[in-house]
């Protein structure tokens, strides 16, 4: 594909970003305190005008109860597609997919697409950016226009085999052949960026462009590490037994949010035994925040089940995350929805109501849209396919939002939801899509 570069997001939001960066700030860029507030960015369109411009009947991918989402748009249409993250100019999304129309590799590869669903510059809908060898996961845009992702391709062209079943447990594979690579969007200049003994993956970039946070087993446990882009210096951020992973920076780059398990007693012994065999059981996780240097760790949620895939709201005071805590008793935890909570753990609010699988939320840098992965369908039929969605984010829901009722009938068979492909507990095939976040 032709090479393209992403602008530095000439609008204000690029400066306070979330994903990547190389080099220092431009002396002509406004200071963070000079940037507009979220309300300024989102605007204050009169409620009546907002409602008049909105056609609820056409919003077929929006479910009853989703007061903060409008005009939900599906961008992929088969297989498994997940972890879609925005470019700094909000023009593109990078995501991983095993959809057989995109790759014949048989396991995840990394692609780029336009966030509005329009074709790419050369006319194609999706552009491959990984090698189409090995297995990949956890991709992200960098501020200099490059992308990064974890891949096993240096060790083998084949997909690594899934882990053996662990006494009927639902487990995620922790491949020790994952290393973190960077390249241009045309796949040139493929560079091994972060590597070492064991698993290195789950990398995201600070909005100020200074750091990459990632998960590694180089210390003997699944811990968070920070990589300084300018120097290559490493700093271990966590050191408590359990799976620390899926970390993201706040928009001001001062905080990180991640999900972690904290096994004790017999559970701790099981955790260590599984990790020794290259597996982890993601059934009991909660959300944590800390300073960007790993200090002042605070547990945000204390919920049963799997609470994961966290992402900061643009105001830095709230967090979106995926959880099955509400469906453990009704469906055995097979339904995952997106929730929002204050950083102090109060104000838990449910965001999605599809009754299926909703996860991997990420705000666009202007705060106006939310990308996420979902098993929802316009016809409400049951599906094990996970697709990328983009919705308008409603910061201040109107009466029309609060009272929204979908006009699409829900099939009886899917009233209580059906777990996503490999996302929920008890999935039979052991595959997961983007488990790392």
Residue-wise pLDDT for 105-142, tens only, equals 999 999 999 999 999 999 999 999 999 999 999 999 99
User: Which of 58-72, 81-95, 154-168, 185-199 has the least mean pLDDT?
Assistant: 154-168
Residue 434 pLDDT > 70: no
* pLDDT classification of 435: cutoffs 50, 70, 90: low
The alpha-helical segments, DSSP class H, found in 157-286 are 265-276
What average pLDDT does the segment 244-251 reach? 98
DSSP string covering 58-124: G-TTPPTT-TTEEEEEE---SSBEEEEEE-TTSSEEEEEE--TTT-SSSS-EEEEEETTS---TTS-
* pLDDT classification of 51: cutoffs 50, 70, 90: confident
Across 20-29, 337-346, 405-414, the highest mean pLDDT is recorded for: 337-346
Question: What is the reported pLDDT for 9?
Answer: 33
Question: What is the reported pLDDT for 31?
Answer: 45
Question: What is the reported pLDDT for 426?
Answer: 34
pLDDT over 70, % of the chain: 82
Residue-wise pLDDT for 401-433, tens only, equals 999 999 988 776 444 333 333 333 333 333 344
Question: What is the reported pLDDT for 164?
Answer: 76
Residue 398 pLDDT > 90: yes
Integer Cα distance of 382 and 377 in angstroms: 8
Residue-wise pLDDT for 151-203, tens only, equals 999 999 999 998 777 667 889 999 999 999 999 999 999 999 999 999 999 99
For 402, residues 6+ apart whose C-beta sits below 8 A from its C-beta are 67
Question: What is the reported pLDDT for 53?
Answer: 86
Question: What is the reported pLDDT for 169?
Answer: 84
What residue segments make up the domains of the chain, in order of their start?
A: 12-22+38-414
* pLDDT classification of 369: cutoffs 50, 70, 90: very high
Question: What is the reported pLDDT for 50?
Answer: 63
What average pLDDT does the segment 65-85 reach? 98
Question: What is the reported pLDDT for 307?
Answer: 98
State the number of CA atoms in the 13 A half-sphere of 113 facing the CB.
27
* pLDDT classification of 354: cutoffs 50, 70, 90: very high
| Per CATH, domain 12-22+38-414 is 1.10.3720.10 | no
Edge-to-edge strand list for the sheet holding 147-151? 136-141, 147-151, 179-183, 191-194
For 39, residues 6+ apart whose C-beta sits below 8 A from its C-beta are 395
Residue 28 pLDDT > 50: no
């Amino acid at each position: 594909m032709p090479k393209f570069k992403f602008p530095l997001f000439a609008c204000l939001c690029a400066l306070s970003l979330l994903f990547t960066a190389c080099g220092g700030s431009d002396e002509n860029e406004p200071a963070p305190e000079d940037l507009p507030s979220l309300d300024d960015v989102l605007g204050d369109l009169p409620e009546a005008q907002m409602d008049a411009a909105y056609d609820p009947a056409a919003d077929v991918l929006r479910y009853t109860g989703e007061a903060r989402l409008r005009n939900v748009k599906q961008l992929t249409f088969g297989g498994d597609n997940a972890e879609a993250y925005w470019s700094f100019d909000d023009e593109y999304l990078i995501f991983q997919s095993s959809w057989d129309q995109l790759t014949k590799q048989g396991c995840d590869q990394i692609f780029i697409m336009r966030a509005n669903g329009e074709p790419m510059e050369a006319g194609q809908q999706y552009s491959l950016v990984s090698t189409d060898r090995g297995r990949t996961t956890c991709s992200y845009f960098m501020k200099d226009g490059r992308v990064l992702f974890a891949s096993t391709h240096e060790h083998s062209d084949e997909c690594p085999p899934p882990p053996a079943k662990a006494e009927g447990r639902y487990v995620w594979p922790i491949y020790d052949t994952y290393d973190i690579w960077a390249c241009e969007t045309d796949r040139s200049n493929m560079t091994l960026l972060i590597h070492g003994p064991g698993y290195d993956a789950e990398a995201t970039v600070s909005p100020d462009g200074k750091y990459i946070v990632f998960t590694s087993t180089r210390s003997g446990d699944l811990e968070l590490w920070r990589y300084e882009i300018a120097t290559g210096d490493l700093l271990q951020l966590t050191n408590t037994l359990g799976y620390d992973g899926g970390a993201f920076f706040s928009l001001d780059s001062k905080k990180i949010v991640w999900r972690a398990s904290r096994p004790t007693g017999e559970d701790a012994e099981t955790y260590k035994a599984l990790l020794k065999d290259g597996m982890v059981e993601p059934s009991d996780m909660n959300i944590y925040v800390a300073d960007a240097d790993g200090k002042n760790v605070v547990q945000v949620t204390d919920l049963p089940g799997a609470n994961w895939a966290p992402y900061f709201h643009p105001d830095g005071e709230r967090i979106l995350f995926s959880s099955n805590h509400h469906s453990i008793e009704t469906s055995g935890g097979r339904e995952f929805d997106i929730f929002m909570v204050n950083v102090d753990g109060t104000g838990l609010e449910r965001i999605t109501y599809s009754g299926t699988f909703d996860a991997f939320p990420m705000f666009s840098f202007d705060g106006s849209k939310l990308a996420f992965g979902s098993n929802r369908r316009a016809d409400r039929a049951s599906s094990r396919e996970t697709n990328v969605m983009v919705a308008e984010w409603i910061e201040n829901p109107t009466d029309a939002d609060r009272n929204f009722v979908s006009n699409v009938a829900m099939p009886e068979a899917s009233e209580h939801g059906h777990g996503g492909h490999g996302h929920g507990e008890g999935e039979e095939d052991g595959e997961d899509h983007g488990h790392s976040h």
